[in-house]
Amino acid sequence: MNILIVGTGYVGTTTGLIFCEMGHQVTGLDLDNRKIQALQAGSLHFYEPGLEELLTKHVQSSQITFTKNTESAVKENDVIFICVGTPMGEDGSADLTYVKNVAEAIGRYMNQYKVIVTKSTVPVGTAELVAEWIEANQTNPIPFDVVSNPEFLREGSAVRDALHPDRIIIGTTSAKAGTIMKELYQNFSCPIIETHPKASEMIKYAANSFLAMKISFINEIARLCDVLGINVMDISKGIGLDHRIGTQFLHAGLGYGGSCFPKDVNALLKTALDNHRPLSVLEKVVEVNNEQPLYFIEKMKQTMGEPLVNKTIAVLGLAFKANTDDTRESPSLVLIEHLASEQVEVKAHDPVVHFKSGGTMKFQQCETVEETVKGADAVVIATNWPEYLRLDWAVLKSFMKRPIIFDGRNMLDKAELESLGFQCFGVASF
């Protein structure tokens, strides 16, 4: 099948390449010329393990091509996936400007029946809006169907997640479009759920919100465990092994970040308010998440027994989680912002994120971990990069002013660090 993917971010690029793996012919469309040129040359414009290999393979075999010519891309493809961004608007709702632009262009250039698929996370009712935007821009009434087919892949494990999804959701009221979609996904072995587009859109928001809720739940339990002297990781394991709860997304830390959970939880809250059905549990989820970096800083102050002003703190990790160069809503940056506002001198490191120095940057970015910890009063582990598990702490200790580690990801071996003479504090990890 000939598939057009509109938007070459991590969702669009991964989706397109996974369809190549499934034997389909794919065109990637983006208005950003630099992205198109890089992708056509086999080079990814973001960091995602394993994706560049797939890109090189399918560019070389011409199974995927990239273009910025919207008219020919729309005319030559019969299934069009909308994978553009839906950033958070000022009132918390999802901004559909890019989706609308794409829908209008599809309407303008449509030459025969097409299935238009919303892959981006879009509010309930967007499939209907997309249909209206397309129709309003058609010069001749050409039939089409709009399908909601949300994506559940995670940054950092996008290829694996997209190749082995737990489920595929197809939201459509059209039998014809449903058949085409099932044909597209015929090589996947997971369950396929066919439902109404509105239900499909809601499934995506409810899934992300539920996972965010698990994280805020365990972070709040961790705060209580801190007082009671209980290791929260034992709690996560003890409750997670109950299959009704599940072990994933119960890792206590600095709170959730990234381009999805904060944005999607807020968008669902906005939908709930607009419909006069506030989601009080979810409101609390956001509140707990916003408090978590502050809670951690409070803990740092208490354990150091003094204010942090004029201290030097080394922050390891800037990305919102491991295996990505994405820093959107990163708990690490939130933490740095708070530390800097308390006149703390922050030095930071990340294996893949490299900010340009100067401007309003609130910290000094160092190239190596050694340089980062040099002269530090304490080290904070802010991102769960596997690299940080392999550090030689005996050597690093000799660079530090004081041997104190605050493990915001509960990932280091505390006993081992203590045997090296460190004081090590996690999030309710004893």
**Smallest distance, Å, CB 399 to ligand UGA?**
27
Rounded-to-10 torsion of CA 228, 233, 238, 243: 140
Catalytic residue among 20, 83, 225, 260: 260
**Smallest distance, Å, CB 13 to ligand UGA?**
13
Contact between 96 and ligand UGA by CB under 6 A: the answer reads no
Contact between 182 and ligand UGA by CB under 6 A: the answer reads no
Residues 6+ apart with CB under 8 A from 145: 114, 115, 116, 172, 174, 176, 177
Contact between 311 and ligand UGA by CB under 6 A: the answer reads no
User: Is 20 assigned a catalytic role?
Assistant: no
Sign of CA dihedral 244, 248, 253, 256: negative
Nearer to ligand UGA, 109 or 296 (CB): 296
Contact between 320 and ligand UGA by CB under 6 A: the answer reads yes
Nearer to ligand UGA, 334 or 400 (CB): 334
**Applying CB under 6 A, which of residues 12, 258, 293, 317 lies at the interface with ligand UGA?**
258
Residues numbered 102-141 forming contacts with ligand UGA, rule: CB under 6 A: 121
Nearer to ligand UGA, 403 or 408 (CB): 408
**Smallest distance, Å, CB 32 to ligand UGA?**
20
> Is-contact 19 3, C-beta < 8 A?
yes
Closest to 311 measured CA to CA, from 281, 335, 346: 346
Contact between 425 and ligand UGA by CB under 6 A: the answer reads no
Closest to 282 measured CA to CA, from 272, 295, 291: 272
Secondary structure of the chain in HEC code, one letter for each residue: CEEEEECCCHHHHHHHHHHHHCCCEEEEECCCHHHHHHHHCCCCCCCCCCHHHHHHHHHHCCCEEEECCHHHHHHHCCEEEECCCCCECCCCCECCHHHHHHHHHHHHHCCCCEEEEECCCCCCCHHHHHHHHHHHHCCCCCCEEEEECCCCCCCCCHHHHHHCCCCEEEECCCHHHHHHHHHHCCCCCCCEEEECHHHHHHHHHHHHHHHHHHHHHHHHHHHHHHHHCCCHHHHHHHHHCCCCCCCCCCCCCCCCCCCCHHHHHHHHHHHHHHCCCCCHHHHHHHHHHHHHHHHHHHHHHHHHCCCCCCCEEEEECCCCCCCCCCCCCCHHHHHHHHHHHCCCEEEEECCCCCCCCCCCCCCEECCCHHHHHCCCCEEEECCCCHHHHCCCHHHHHHHCCCCEEEECCCCCCHHHHHHCCCEEEECCCC
* Binding map of ligand UGA across residues 29-68, x = CB under 6 A, - = no contact: ----------------------------------------
Contact between 426 and ligand UGA by CB under 6 A: the answer reads no
**Applying CB under 6 A, which of residues 48, 145, 151, 350 lies at the interface with ligand UGA?**
151
**Smallest distance, Å, CB 211 to ligand UGA?**
6
**Applying CB under 6 A, which of residues 12, 171, 253, 408 lies at the interface with ligand UGA?**
253
Nearer to ligand UGA, 172 or 219 (CB): 219
Residue type, 358: G
Nearer to ligand UGA, 320 or 393 (CB): 320
**Smallest distance, Å, CB 263 to ligand UGA?**
8
**Smallest distance, Å, CB 102 to ligand UGA?**
18
Binding segment toward ligand UGA, per CB under 6 A, in 50-58, 153-161, 277-285, 305-313: 153-161
* Binding map of ligand UGA across residues 263-282, x = CB under 6 A, - = no contact: -x------------------
**Applying CB under 6 A, which of residues 152, 185, 188, 355 lies at the interface with ligand UGA?**
152
For ligand UGA (CB under 6 A), the number of binding residues is 21
Residues numbered 378-407 forming contacts with ligand UGA, rule: CB under 6 A: none
Residues numbered 208-247 forming contacts with ligand UGA, rule: CB under 6 A: 208, 211, 215
**Applying CB under 6 A, which of residues 73, 82, 122, 260 lies at the interface with ligand UGA?**
260
Nearer to ligand UGA, 180 or 232 (CB): 232
**Smallest distance, Å, CB 353 to ligand UGA?**
14
Structure tokens at 333: 């940056």
Which residues contribute to the site for ligand UGA (CB under 6 A)?
Answer: 121, 151-155, 208, 211, 215, 249-251, 253, 256-258, 260-261, 264, 320-321
Catalytic residues: 260
